[in-house]
Structure 1
Amino acid sequence: MLSALISSYPKSKLSMEIASIPFLNQEEYSYFYSFFQDLDTESQDSPSKRQKLDEFDEEYSSLNQILNATEVPNSDFETPHSKIELPKWEFEMPDSKIEIPNSDFEHRASEMADWEQGRVRKTRIPSPPVGGYTAAEDSGGHRRRLWVKERSKGWWKYHNSDECPDDDFRKAFRMSKSTFNMICDELDSSVTKKDTMLRMAIPVRQRVAVCIYRLATGDPLRKVSVLFGLGISTCHKLVLEVCAAIQTVLMPKFLQWPDEERLKEIKTGFGSISGIPDVNGSIYTTHISIIAPKANPEAYYNRKHTSRNQKSSYSTTIQGLVDPRGVFTDICIGYPGSMTDEQILEKSALYQRSKMGSLKNTRVIGNSGYPLKDWILVPYTHKNLTWSQHSFNQKVNELNKIGKDAFMRLKGRWGCLQKRIEVKLQELPMVLGACCVLHNICEMYNEEMDVELSFDLYDNEMEIEMESRGISVNALEARDNIAHNLLHCRHG
């Protein structure tokens, strides 16, 4: 084809014409394209491929001979006045679209696109959850796969099954299965979460169990995460959510100020123990160790705990009023550890009740850290006590012991209160309140506490000087009369 094309032109113009041809015409383009296409599709050793290669070599060698035999004068290119008429070539693109095969890059790009489409389609293929992922349906009925870290739930499955003895369950959660089931039923509406298209919701029993176990043992979240097969952050979130639900749902039912009928029972119970009339509760204040807060840390600095532990200690407080069974009827939570019992009392709801006249004809028993008032009885603190005063102090101490023992059981059951609690200061009252509510539930349902859980309570009991108390004459006379009557009743 090339030989016939070259021979049809004069040799004098051959060199210029060959150098002037920028493109191939339609016929030449089709020839070369079909040649190389056939060459590429045929096998390496096919006879037709070898024949075409030989023909191409012959055409190429004849073209080289013609070009080598022709001398191209430089003057034709260098002389500006020489007039050379170049042939006019007309090159028209064919109407039909020529399909040029894809390059290797385009071929691989198309493969990647096909692979990506296949991968996306693969994620929507329904498949059972195996290995390291779970499956959930979306709104269109498809199922998506989520890669979730697999964790063992063997410990929780055992304690949540009928195979677990009640003793093992009580050791882990400080209560029987029946009491635990009651709590789950009460919190069901406020704790339940709906399943989403991404994952299944954690069951209510497991949510409540994570919170109660964390409060009961005080174990670090890392260990709680392993036992329940959940993430560390998930366990922390569950503890706060369940504590908030306990405060909202259970506190109005299990920790409330007694009504008239209940108040009569409380007075009768305390009267049978000590002989002191009209006692509606025993008050006590305990300290909970905390991390030093960033804001105003000196207010939470606890001098006595620092002296005892030989390192800087910070605390917050729980002040509670208990009935003869050790059930809380009033609590005041969250005031700094540097405050005295008297200062905390003045900021409590109990003190506001006394101002409103709600504590008329009733008395609260306190230790020497509280002031003597018309509605608060405290022991004599001066020396050289009379027989009646000594007998009064013995009775008051018996009632004070009821309040202190209640706090010992509170800290004994809920081990998180025995160590430095790692909760944000603004969330701490909610957690401490939940512990008090759970304590009341255990007391009301007669949950016995194991002997090994007993806790030696150590708190600040600071005696207040008489002169600083501002004691009324009526309060002094009332206490003296009670002491006198107790002595004569005992000997009578």
Structure 2
Amino acid sequence: MATVLKWVKFPTTAIDRQQGREKFATAPQPFEGAIGAIDCTFVHILAPSEHEEAFVNHHGRHSLNVQAIVDPDLTILNINPRHPGARNDAYIWSTSPIRRAMEFHYNRGERRTWPIGDAGYPLEPWLLTPLANFPEDTRQHQYTQQLCKARSVVERFFGVFKSVWRCLSYQRVLMYEPAFAAKIVNACAVLHNMRVQLRLNNEDDEQLAPIAHPVENDVDPMDQDEEYNRRGPRALAQRIQQQIMRERFPNFRDAEE
């Protein structure tokens, strides 16, 4: 476990989180305020002898559902292979120490800092997700397009991860019980980050986009705290989404107008 923590570390300090935001602000597919892209993937295993049904995913195969958070360099910030395949992405996030950490920092006054996920995750003030089925000339569509492009790094990561460590690929099955299979996933995560840090990967270097200048938050944090207490996290998260869309896409119409 100590080796995993050495090589796979989520930003725990304000300086680390600022550096994480800067990576996404200057990435080829930027999204200001993002600190990591989050998603889950299945890693197939043998049918376990205990609680076998809990490991059957929606494709009907026995698996772990592995959650990963990565940055634009494909560095793994967090890996969680402990959950069986029947658990959905939202449940895994709801029990994640990273969610608790993001909520903690939000409640301590840290704003404009989010993991970004797909529609399988809940919209929260500390986790942004896309909006579905809006016309192309709307702010909602532009916001979703920008978020999904930035979030695509986690899908690219899974492709690289499973192509390098073939034991994790869709065509393979880890021939071990779940706890040992999870250790294999963790070991592959450590080796992956070693490859990234030591530049042992074969990926072509990508051009970084120009640094985007962040827009100052015009909503008083005290107002956000009051709304959070009164209406709950989803309502506040929707307000944050609307503010982002107004600031970043002023030349597009709002779908509700």
TM-score by length of 2: 0.77
Separation in structure 2 between the aligned mates of residue 299 and residue 471 of structure 1, nearest angstrom = 30
**AA of the residue aligned to 2:148:** N
Distance 2:66 2:4 in 1: 16
Query: Once the 2 structures are TM-superposed, how far is the Cα of residue 439 of structure 1 from its aligned partner?
Result: 0.8
Provide closer, same or farther for how the CA distance between residues 354 and 411 of structure 1 changes in structure 2, counting only shifts above 3 A: same
Q: Which structure features the higher share of helix residues?
A: 1
Does 1:314 find its partner at 2:69?
no
Aligned equivalents of 2:163, 2:19: Cα separation in 1: 27
SS at match of 1:474: helix
Amino acid paired to 2:85: G
Question: What amino acid maps onto 2:18 in structure 1?
Answer: K
Partner of 1:447: 200
Q: Are 2:78 and 1:324 aligned?
A: no
Q: Partners in 2 of 1:357 and 1:269 — Cα distance?
A: 19
What code does the residue aligned with 1:262 have?
Answer: D
From 22, 26, 31, the counterpart of 1:272 = 26
Structure ID, larger Rg: 1
Aligned twin of 2:130: 379
Specify the SS of the correspondent of 1:325: coil
**Structure 2: distance between partners of 1:275 and 1:296:** 42
State yes or no: 1:407 paired with 2:169.
no
- Structure 2, unpaired ranges of 5+: 205-231, 253-257
- Where does 1:463-482 land on structure 2 (aligned, <5 Å)? 472-482=234-244
User: What is the letter of the counterpart of residue 247 of structure 2?
Assistant: N
Is the contact made by 1:291 and 1:420 (CA closer than 8 Å) also made in structure 2?
yes
1:262 equivalent in alignment to 2:29: no
Find the aligned partners of 1:324 and 1:402 in 2 and give their Cα distance: 6
Residues 116 and 147 of structure 2 are in contact (CA less than 8 Å); yes or no, is this contact kept in structure 1? yes
- Which one scores higher on RCO, CA 8 angstroms, separation ≥ 6? 2
| Contact 2:103 2:126 survives alignment (8 Å) | no
Aligned to 1:416: 167
- Following superposition, the deviation at residue 426 of structure 1 comes to 2.3
* 1:285/1:365 CA distance change after superposition, 3 Å: same
Residue identity matched to 1:254: W
- Following TM superposition, by how much is the alpha carbon of 1:377 offset from its aligned partner in structure 2, in angstroms? 0.8
CA–CA distance in structure 2, aligned partners of residues 276 and 287 of structure 1: 27
Distance 1:395 1:424, change over 3 A: same
Distance 1:386 1:343, change over 3 A: farther
Structure 2: how far apart are the matches of 1:381 and 1:285? 20
Give the distance between the partners of 1:276 and 1:269, measured in 2 at CA: 9
Counterpart of 1:334 in structure 2 is: 82
Q: Contact between 1:332 and 1:349, CA under 8 Å: does it hold in 2? A: no
Say yes or no: does 1:253 pair with 2:1: no
Q: Following the alignment from structure 1 to structure 2, what is the Cα–Cα distance between the partners of residues 423 and 449?
A: 30
Cross-structure match for 1:353: 101
2: CA distance, partners of 1:445 / 1:327: 11
Count of aligned residue pairs for this structure pair: 218
What residue number does 1:291 align with?
Answer: 46
One-letter amino acid of the counterpart of residue 364, structure 1: P
- Contact map agreement 2:25 2:31 (CA 8 A) in 1: yes
> Deviation at 1:390?
1.1
Match for residue 178 of structure 2 among 418, 422, 425: 425
Query: How far is 1:384 from its partner?
Result: 4.5
CA distance in 2, matches of 1:253, 1:416: 23
Gaps of 5+ in 1: 1-246, 307-312, 452-469
Give me the identity figure in percent. Answer: 23
Q: Render the CA deviation track for 1:359-391: whole Å, top value 9, x for unaligned.
A: 832111001111100011111024556521111
Q: Is the 8 A contact 1:334 1:428 kept in 2?
A: no
C-alpha contact 2:21 2:33 (8 A) present in aligned 1: yes
The answer (yes or no) to whether the contact 1:413–1:449 under 8 Å persists in 2 is no
Q: How does 1:110-129 map to 2 (within 5 A)?
A: none
Shift of 1:471: 5.9
Q: CA separation in 2, counterparts of 1:430 and 1:394?
A: 36
Query: 1:472: Cα distance to partner?
Result: 2.3
Query: Which residue in 2 is equivalent to 1:388?
Result: 139
Please state how far the C-alpha of 1:435 moved relative to its aligned partner: 0.6
